Each structure stands twice: as structure tokens, then as C-alpha cells.
Amino acid sequence: MHDWVRALAAQRFPPGPRSQGGQDGILAEIFRHVPTVNSPPFCVEFGFNAATLGGGTGANVASLVLDHGWQALLLDGGHENPAINLRREFLTSANIVGVFAKWRVPTQPDYISS
């Protein structure tokens, strides 16, 4: 195991300005060490409780998109906002591949969050 992974496990990440549980700090640290494959990097998040990246309890990928220039597909069964590529989709194991194809998710997204 890499030393940075051990250090990451030992660190405490307080809730950040864009996430409820410190995910923005954790992700920033991970992507300091792990290269992305897409240019710009691409992430997918499913499950929102708001129609904006900054609303509700905070999207895990908000900082990647807003602060680091990542592209994103955001999916939720109850919210839609084309301005931020938030699409109303209910995902199942039977339809997820088709939904990803419909919204042109790269074959190798850099990060997926739920």
C-alpha cells in the first residue's frame, strides 16, 4: 500500500464548503496522486436532494466540477437541471449501462459517486 493511502486513512477531513462529510477534501487528496484518463476529467454522481450542485446537503462531486473544471453527469430520480447536466433518471442494474450510453458517459469515467 502506498504511503499516501495510509496517510489518507489517518487524516480527518472536516465537512467542506461543497460536501457534507469532507468528501471534497478526500477527493482532492486522492486526485493529487491518482491520474485521470479523460481531458477534462469526467465524473458521474447519482442521488441528489436538490436541483443544484450547491443545494441540499451537497453533492460529492461539486468541488470537482465547480473548483477543478471536471465534466459531470448528475443523475437523480426526482430532480432535473440541464444547466448542470442533472438528468432525471431512475437507475437499476438492468438500465444503468443504457443510461450511461444515452448521456455519453466516457467508457472510463474518472470517478463515480452515489
Nearest to 90 by CA among 48, 31, 34, 29: 48
Confidence (pLDDT) at 49: 78
Residues 29, 100, 59, CA angle at the centre, nearest 5°? 40
**Which string of b and e fits 5-22 if b means at least 16 CB within 10 Å?**
eeebeeeebeebebbeee
Higher-pLDDT residue of 29, 59: 29
Q: What is the pLDDT of residues 30-83, one digit of tens each?
A: 999 999 999 999 999 998 778 888 777 778 898 899 999 999 999 999 999 999
Kindly report the pTM of this predicted structure. 0.89
Domain ranges in the chain are 3-113
| The total number of residues written for the chain in this structure | 114
Task: Tell me the one-letter amino acid at 108.
Answer: Q
